[in-house]
Amino acid sequence: MLGNAKFSRLHPFACWISCMISIFSGSLLTAFLLGEPLLSVFKTSDQLYVATAVWYMVFYAPFDVGYYIVSILPVKCVLAVMKEVYRCKKINDGVVHASRLYPQGYLPILIVGTLKGVLCYSR
């Protein structure tokens, strides 16, 4: 049985695909639930480039330099604050998007906002 490090070295494309699916999972799930094309999640190439760069730093950066940079306390604090601000933005975007599609449907608005907030990385 292969470990994570061996699998990522032997199958880099499969590793990249699984990471992109998990990174963009909130947008993929809400696009599926709202009947939108699933590939429209990846139309913003800037987010895909950033996600690919982070993936590369996690799996292939020499001497685990990505881990050491992120483990510095001030960097970790800044990234945590940025993550929570981004989560608030994604919840707002999900609520606005669902309210345009379902102006009187409070349950779909709540579900889409929740999914975007819990699984927020894209869109």
Q: What is the pLDDT along the chain (123 residues), one digit of tens a residue?
A: 567 778 888 899 999 999 999 888 888 898 998 999 998 888 888 989 999 999 999 888 898 898 899 999 999 999 999 989 989 998 999 999 999 999 999 999 999 999 888 865 544
13 within domain boundaries: yes
Q: Is residue 74 part of a domain?
A: yes
Structural domain contains residue 14: yes
Q: Which pTM does this prediction carry?
A: 0.79
* pLDDT of amino acid 8: 80
pLDDT at 120: 58
The reply to whether 123 falls in a domain is no
Quick check: is 34 in a domain? yes
Residue 38 belongs to what domain range?
A: 4-118
d(CA 76, CA 52) in angstroms, rounded, equals 20
Whether 58 contacts 84, CB under 8 Å:
no
- Taking Cα atoms as reference points, which of 115, 59, 72 lies closest to residue 91? 115
CA pair distance 16, 21, nearest whole angstrom = 9
Number of domains in the chain: 1
User: How would DSSP label each residue in 40-74?
Assistant: GGGG-HHHHHHHHHHHHHHHH-GGGHHHHHHTSHH
Q: Torsion over CA of 73, 75, 80 and 86, rounded to 10 degrees?
A: 170
Pair 94, 113: CB distance under 8 Å: yes
pLDDT at 7: 82
3-state helix, strand, coil in the chain (%, to 5): 85, 0, 15
Q: Is residue 56 part of a domain?
A: yes
